[in-house]
Amino acid sequence: MSALSRGLISRFRLLSINSAASPTITSSSSSSSSWTHPSCYFFFRTFSTEGSIQAGDGSSLSSPIIEAKPGVMSPNSKRTGVIAVKCGMSALWDKWGARVPITVLWVDDNIVSQVKTIEKEGITALQIGCGQKKAKHLTKPEVGHFRAQGVPLKRKLREFPVTEDALLPVGTTIGVRHFVPGQFIDVTGITRGKGFQGVMKKHGFKGMPASHGASLSHRSLGSTGQRDAPGKVFKGKKMAGRMGGKQRTVKNVWVYKIDPARNLMWVRGQVPGAEGNFVFIKDAFYKKPDKSILPFPTYFANNDEDTETLEPLVADLGEVDPFMVGE
């Protein structure tokens, strides 16, 4: 079955959602009732040759007005993420003298490069662009996409699903103050590629004996199966092979400090990827941050705010010395 046939079948299945209703498509000159379900509207908009498909009240469906202004975050709201560059790792000492392993992330000139809505694409999402790139280093479709949206040429693009109340207009700048110190985030990236590795390095096998009875098989994996029953090697058997170079997500990463003047973020622990690689940051799924302290849908700077003079913001570590708790 071709991809077009599968797409047609999946869209025809949408018609069963309102099977109890009478399906009637109205043009601009007709006043009869029409489908009111958003998925049915998306179906007719895609495959119909009519100039306009009206809603049940006679008014044509249009995209919502998206404004760049602060809002109130509801329990079901989902904010966009950002794209950052991994700068490397270091260590800091907090005010209590505890050593904190740190990864430095650089949020390099993130802007909204495309807005996807239910009425047009069938989803609500924001496409975020990061960095800068010359036109000669991009393909013609990529250059056409940026010019059609009216945004600068970007080095990396990433789409983040959001709720409808978290949509931002095209061209909105997203900085490091999108996050707040003390919250937890999920960081996704491509791990370091280590090439073809053996089972001791890749899976942590113990290996064969190091002295007697092991002839040139000290780092071997050993037996891989049985004899006549079942007479095969089961799928998923841990063997030697390529290690790393896969997309992985580190969850519940703690934000220690942010620097609005340089768009830098210090997070505790390690994140996947090598220095210079792109990572994708979003609010933590499990350790959800306090919605009352998060800027929604993002942080909007005041007109008189000078970002060059802003001091770094550090997470609140409390007033109790952790080294003196036992005394």
pLDDT at 190 (0 to 100):
97
* Angstrom distance (rounded) from CA 184 to CA 284: 5
Q: How far apart are CA 55 and CA 37, in angstroms?
A: 9
Alpha helices (runs of H) in 48-96, residue ranges in sequence order:
none
Which backbone phi and psi does 205 adopt, to 5 degrees?
-65, 155
Residue entry with tokens 């053996």 = 198
Cβ contact 31:58 at 8 Å: yes
- Long-range contacts of range 224-231, CB-CB < 8 Å, 24 or more positions apart? none
Strand partners, 103: 89, 267
Structure tokens at 191: 């791990």
CA distances in angstroms from 95 to 17, 92, 326, listed in the order given: 59, 10, 18
In whole angstroms, what is the distance from residue 73 CA to residue 81 CA?
15
Model confidence pLDDT, tens digit, residues 225-234: 888 888 899 9
CA distance 85 to 274: 10
Q: 118 φ, ψ to 5°?
A: -65, -40
At 319 the pLDDT is 86
Rg for the chain, CA atoms, rounded = 27
- Options 1.10.10.10, 1.10.260.40, 3.40.50.460, 2.40.30.10; which CATH number does 88-106+181-194+244-296 get? 2.40.30.10
Instruction: State residue 242's pLDDT score.
Output: 97
The answer to whether the beta carbons of residues 85 and 105 sit under 8 Å apart is yes
Walk across the sheet containing 173-174 and list its strands: 156-161, 125-130, 110-116, 173-174
State the Cα–Cα distance between residues 140 and 138, nearest whole angstrom.
7
pLDDT of residue 14: 53
If residue 201 lies in a helix (H) or strand (E), which one and from where to where?
A: helix 199-202
User: According to CATH, what is the number of the domain 108-174?
Assistant: 3.30.160.810
Nearest to 126 by CA among 167, 184, 85: 167
Mark the ranges of the chain whose per-residue pLDDT is less than 50. 17-36, 48-53, 55-56, 58-60
How is the chain split into domains, by residue range? Answer: 88-106+181-194+244-296, 108-174
Counting Cβ atoms within 10 Å, is residue 167 exposed (0-12), middle (13-18) or buried (19+)? buried
Q: Which two tokens stand for residue 304?
A: 């008189």
* Nearby residues of 67 by Cβ (< 8 Å), 6 or more positions away: 169
pLDDT tens column, 55-114: 445 444 556 788 889 999 999 999 999 999 999 999 999 999 999 999 999 999 999 999
CB atoms within 10 A of CB 133: 17
Six token digits for residue 39: 């998925």
Query: In a 10 Å sphere around its CB, with 0-12 CB exposed, 13-18 middle and 19+ buried, how is residue 20 labelled?
Result: exposed
Cα 25 vs. chain centroid, distance in angstroms? 38
In the block, which residue shows the tokens 């900085």?
Answer: 175
Q: Is 236 exposed, middle or buried (0-12, 13-18, 19+ CB in 10 A)?
A: exposed
Phi, psi values for residue 196, rounded to 5°: -80, 120
Cβ atoms 271, 254 nearer than 8 A = no
